[in-house]
Structure 1
Amino acid sequence: MTATIRLPTRRIGSLEVPVVGLGCNNFGSRLDEGRTRRVVDAALEDGVTFFDTADIYGRTQSETFLGRILEGRRDRVVIATKFGMEVDRTRRGAAPAYVRRALEDSLRRLRTDRIDLYQLHEPDPATPIADTLEALDGLVREGKVRQIGCSNFSGAQLLEASAAMKEGAARFVSVQNELNLLDRADEQDALPVAEQLGLAYIPYFPLANGLLTGKYRPGVVPEGSRLASSRRAEQLLTDGTFARLEALDRFAVDRGHSILELAFGWLLAHPPVASVIAGATTPEQVRANAAAAGWILTADEMELVAAGLPIL
């Protein structure tokens, strides 16, 4: 099977990944295994070979589905997964003993002998970060993990983790946080710290719950969309939001692009960004996301967006 879209690649530590990754949070929840397979197959066809999952997604079913579907194709892909959020009362946190248990569980579900990028899903205030890093370093030395990263860390927490890293030991190579054109707060927090520390930045929710797909209009919520069944719809679908969406759409169209392309191109213009993690529930969404990565904003275009869209 040859990829129909040739995506550029960037690096996360020693890993080479396409600039668009597939977020697997819908697998096992919104999507059953058959629909998951169609999405994964479409991703591989379109050059999206970076898969980001977590042990809590779909109550562990995301990893299970992905393991079965990628069997026989494991060497073609880069798999990232996460641990630390509560799977159940006995499986949560970042204590050293649990780090190993969580990894072994993920390896079994994913049907693989190694995780390419193993990420702490959120800070664990009950465990010193130095202890977690030491446990992760042991897994890297055993060959069960290639690279380690973190998610939902503030800039201050990234600096704390950097200070706790021992000479010669495995270090975080990435941070995965929320960033998009409607939520730019991390531009003033973890993003510049990631650049300072030489970390790859992996943005999630790049389309702001689908608002940046161009499908939403005042009074119109697409049937079957995430927000159609969300209690946050009233909070998000405000006159102010639609005014910003209209301005962004006009900016993109004036330059011969769509707001979807703008959402990806704006993120990829930030130097630390390695790959944009976008979820999908259909093959068509996968293809649209992959195709949207062709426009990377210039410095002048970034300044225009910043001038017209203040940081919230």
Structure 2
Amino acid sequence: MEKRGLGSDGPDLSLVGLGCNNFGMKLDLEASRVVIDAALDAGITHFDTAEMYGEGKSEEYIGACLGSRRDEVVIGTKFLPRPKDEPYTPGALRRRIVEACEGSLRRLRTDRIDLYYQHYPDTEAPAGEALETLHDLVRQGKILHIASSNVSGEQLEADADLAEARSLTPFSGTQFEWNLLSRAAERELVPAARKRRMGLVPYFPLASGMLTGKYRRGQAYPSGSRLDTLAFFADKVNVDDFDRVEELTRFAQERGHTILELAMAWLAAQDGVTSVIAGATSPEQVRANVDAVSWRLSGEELAVIP
């Protein structure tokens, strides 16, 4: 598995990362262990989780399953912002971050977090409060690198300027939704991250399964699938998406590939992409995601992708 450095100073991540949001939600401990073992066997060294996934069970399962193999992987996890109904007072965000970090360390059974994300920005707290707290945790050795998630290009630039002005640990990368059906990040966020030499970590590369070929126009969603069980994602699908999927499917098939392989390979070919986060509920899905990035799209192919 190819590894790429996250930005100018971040850790080396496997090109395909394992999204661990299914652990503790769709998968119990033993089913999670099977997926984790398959990921390790396939060369995946980037495990992406969050304190909110499975209400903490995702981190617990990762800690329990890795055991002596913990040092073989880069664990990325994320802290939640303050509760929405909690009025901001100075120091409240700092307390939330420190509390979250200690909880993640405990659940992951580790002495450090390799890559710590601010899952969502806190719009009421001063940006410096988060950066200064994360900087202190880096100095203490509890986290090694930091990154942002779900920010705008403007927020990314402001955080970078603030970290430089105060000599604080900068964000090495940023994580965000990006796929062949969701291209909004290309307008501002992606150029800003490239300008700041930050690594790009796309999530939802398969657009909730739309880019796997499992959903067909006019047909009921397969029972138990994400679009069948989660209205939040199903409501985002429209007729244009099915038109686009059909075009992309033809493009991939004409070249002897699947639309899933195209979706993963296209992201892997984008300048600045460090690791593509893909969830899995089975070893077969893990292997399919890893095999997909072996397709190296040519410049000509990238230029004509519909």
Q: Is the 8 A contact 2:227 2:233 kept in 1?
A: yes
Q: Give ranges in structure 2 of 5+ residues lacking alignment.
A: none
Q: Does 1:273 align with 2:273?
A: yes
What does 1:65-104 align with in structure 2 at a 5 Å threshold? 65-85=61-81, 95-104=93-102
Q: Does 1:8 align with 2:2?
A: yes
Q: Is the 8 A contact 1:84 1:94 kept in 2?
A: no
Tell me which residue corresponds to 2:260: 260
Tell me which residue corresponds to 2:54: 58
Q: Describe the shift of the 1:32–1:88 C-alpha distance in structure 2 as closer, same or farther (beyond 3 A).
A: farther
- How many Å separate the matches in 1 of 2:207 and 2:235? 13
Tell me which residue corresponds to 1:3: none
- How many Å separate the matches in 1 of 2:73 and 2:159? 28
Residue type of the partner of 1:25? N
Among 132, 135, 138, the residue aligned to 1:137: 135
Tell me which residue corresponds to 1:213: 212
Percent pairwise identity? 47
What does 1:184-199 align with in structure 2 at a 5 Å threshold? 184-199=183-198
SS in 1 for 2:44: coil
Among 38, 43, 67, the residue aligned to 1:42: 38
- How many Å separate the matches in 2 of 1:102 and 1:89? 18
SS in 1 for 2:202: strand
- How many Å separate the matches in 2 of 1:101 and 1:41? 30
- How many Å separate the matches in 1 of 2:45 and 2:234? 35
Q: Describe the shift of the 1:234–1:173 C-alpha distance in structure 2 as closer, same or farther (beyond 3 A).
A: closer
- How many Å separate the matches in 2 of 1:71 and 1:89? 38
Q: Describe the shift of the 1:126–1:234 C-alpha distance in structure 2 as closer, same or farther (beyond 3 A).
A: closer
What does 1:114-153 align with in structure 2 at a 5 Å threshold? 114-153=112-151
Deviates more, 1:166-175 or 1:146-155: 166-175
Q: CA RMSD in A?
A: 2.0
Q: Describe the shift of the 1:174–1:293 C-alpha distance in structure 2 as closer, same or farther (beyond 3 A).
A: same
> What TM-score comes out, normalization by structure 1 length?
0.91
Tell me which residue corresponds to 1:172: 171
Deviates more, 1:224-233 or 1:140-149: 224-233
Deviates more, 1:210-219 or 1:269-278: 210-219
TM-aligned CA deviation for residue 87 of structure 1: 7.6
TM-aligned CA deviation for residue 89 of structure 1: 7.4
Deviates more, 1:33-42 or 1:220-229: 220-229
Q: Give ranges in structure 1 of 5+ residues lacking alignment.
A: 1-6
Q: Describe the shift of the 1:111–1:234 C-alpha distance in structure 2 as closer, same or farther (beyond 3 A).
A: closer
Deviates more, 1:218-227 or 1:168-177: 218-227
Output one character per residue of 1:164-183: Cα deviation in whole Å (capped at 9) or x when no partner: 11454311001000000011
Q: Is the 8 A contact 1:180 1:263 kept in 2?
A: yes
- How many Å separate the matches in 1 of 2:237 and 2:146? 37
- How many Å separate the matches in 2 of 1:234 and 1:131? 37
Deviates more, 1:296-305 or 1:144-153: 296-305
Q: Is the 8 A contact 1:177 1:204 kept in 2?
A: yes
Deviates more, 1:18-27 or 1:97-106: 97-106
Q: Is the 8 A contact 1:55 1:87 kept in 2?
A: no
Output one character per residue of 1:24-81: Cα deviation in whole Å (capped at 9) or x when no partner: 1111111111111111111111111110000001011111111111111111111000
